[in-house]
Amino acid sequence: MSLVNKPAPRFTAGAVINGEEIVDGFSLEQYIGKKYVIFYFYPKDFTFVCPTEILAFQEKLAEFEKRDAIVVGCSTDTEETHLAWLNTPKDQGGIQGVTYPIVADTAKTIATNFGILGGEYDYDEEGNLIFNGAPIALRATFLIDKEGIIRHETVNNFPLGRNVDETLRLLDAQRHVEKYGEVCPAGWSEGKEAMQESRESVASYLSKL
């Protein structure tokens, strides 16, 4: 079920911040009332598609910060594994240079509560606990507003990398909606015409296509 227009699930977990420091008790609640949050999940450390996405968010980090937004990554790996990967140079497959927080969801409860764990627990015929699917996070991205409400979510299967520019565009759209009370049509980007929620406004916009 979609979490859009619902409060983001709360959690407290270990994380690596500033690319070098392990902290306990990291939470998104520290940003409520202050910042937008781009909270995204990736499947595994030391893999192939994941570093391209993690580094793409880092490359655009200043753009998110200009828009009053924080980027936070998360996977089901441990804090220690995150830190080891953050200390690995890019030319060796690492993500050295990433500065935004990366959360360790070792209990898999965060991914479960956000509805993006790649499978589910079950019991076999002998009553043994088993897992059907992959016990790691799918490629999911959540745009959370300053009140802690999820305004957008996308979920990709493991092989499909996401588009960070699209995440920026959606953040721009959310900010525009909040500031001007307008709605954003297909393909809208910052600087383009938006619409009022009225037949006249829609008709005027469509007549220009």
8/106 Cα distance (integer angstroms)? 19
Helix (H, G, I), strand (E, B) or coil at 25: strand
Catalytic option among 8, 15, 32, 50:
50
With beta carbons less than 8 A apart as the criterion, state whether 176 and 190 touch: yes
206 vs 159: CA distance, rounded Å: 37
Q: Give the closest residue to 79 by CA, choosing from 28, 29, 17, 122.
A: 17
Residues 6+ apart with CB under 8 A from 24: 14
Judge whether 168 and 35 are in contact, CB under 8 Å.
no
The DSSP code sequence of 105-129 is -TTSHHHHHTT-EEEEEEE-TTS-E
Tell me whether residue 74 is one of the annotated catalytic residues. Answer: no
- Contact yes or no for 120/101 (Cβ under 8 A): no
Q: Is the dihedral of CA 172, 97, 113, 116 positive or negative?
A: positive
Instruction: Return the active site residues.
Output: 50
